[in-house]
Amino acid sequence: MPDALLAMENVTAGYMGDIDVLRNVSLTVRAGHISGLIGLNGAGKSTLMKTLCGFLHPKSGKVTWAGRDISGKAPHTMIDEGLWYIPQESSLFPYLTVAENLRLPLEGRRKQFGAVIEQRFADTLQRFPVLEEKLAAQAGDLSGGQQKSLEFAKAYMVQPKVCLIDEPSVGLAPRVAGEVFQWIDAFAKADMGILLVDHNVRRVVAMSDHIYVMSLGQITAEGAPADFAGDLHAQVREWLGVNF
């Protein structure tokens, strides 16, 4: 796909030498589009995310960025490519303040971002006003919803070309989860490519431009939202080969 920013091409990967978690997986993330990834727990979704970010090296196949092979590139350099990852677990530094957490990704890259840090900081607080009165608070003292706001505010500060988002609504009250999905939609409308994993299958399908179904480390189905019309859960049951 010519306009794919991030892609997996026939990737096999795993944590141990003889155990493959991902098997011959291919998918793409395009600018301004949301690619949804759905599947049961243990299907390999988080492993896929970690492979895209460089935490796992493909045993075969490759990860590409705008057509260029970046397989195995060090995770801490991915921000320079324009790739950002919001994991299911917190990536915040709990003993740093909200302000320090927000600034941290760009402060170490002042040669690249120095001219825009202050403007980005002001814009971020305008977009995430709940954080403005918490700037001096330690991140670990925030509520779960406020911490999730800070995770997305960090992504807004960085303004990556592609953002990988793993289970963003887990453990959140419905109102806060709704805000999270609004942020994701806003990111995509700002021309950011999104790869979204979430247990709320209906929401993922409704938001996504293209959906991938994963089962036992393989992509077992994919398509546009229209392909998921009708009884969504029945189709997902059939594709995953399980009853739930």
Residue 218: is its pLDDT beyond 80?
yes
The full set of domain ranges for the chain reads 1-82+163-244, 89-159
Q: Give CA–CA dist 192/30, Å, rounded.
A: 8
Residue 108: is its pLDDT beyond 60?
yes
Per-residue model confidence as pLDDT tens digits over 118-146: 999 999 999 999 999 999 999 999 999 99
Per-residue model confidence as pLDDT tens digits over 142-182: 999 999 999 999 999 999 999 999 999 998 999 999 999 99
Tell me which amino acid residue 56 is. L
- Tell me, what's the pLDDT at 219? 95
Number of neighbouring beta carbons within 10 Å of residue 16:
7
| Burial (Cβ within 10 Å: 0-12, 13-18, ≥19) of residue 18 | exposed
pTM of the model: 0.91
Q: Give CA–CA dist 155/153, Å, rounded.
A: 5
Using 50, 70 and 90 to split pLDDT, how confident is the model at 239?
Answer: low
Q: Give CA–CA dist 241/238, Å, rounded.
A: 5
- Tell me, what's the pLDDT at 41? 87
Mean pLDDT of 214-236: 82
- Tell me, what's the pLDDT at 243? 57
Sheet holding 4-13, edge to edge: 22-30, 4-13, 60-65, 68-69
- Tell me, what's the pLDDT at 2? 47
Q: Is 9 left (phi over 0), alpha (psi -120 to 50) or beta?
A: beta
Give DSSP secondary structure letters for 133-159: GGTTSBGGGS-HHHHHHHHHHHHHHH-
Mean pLDDT of 106-124: 84
Given this structure, which CATH class describes domain 1-82+163-244?
alpha beta
Tell me which amino acid residue 48 is. L
Identify any residues that bridge with 195 across adjacent strands, giving them in sequence order.
35, 164
Lookup: tokens for 13: 């990967």
Instruction: Say which residue, 17 or 91, is predicted with more confidence.
Output: 91
Proportion of the chain above pLDDT 70, given as a percent = 93
Mean pLDDT, all residues of the chain? 90
Per-residue model confidence as pLDDT tens digits over 58-73: 999 999 999 999 998 8
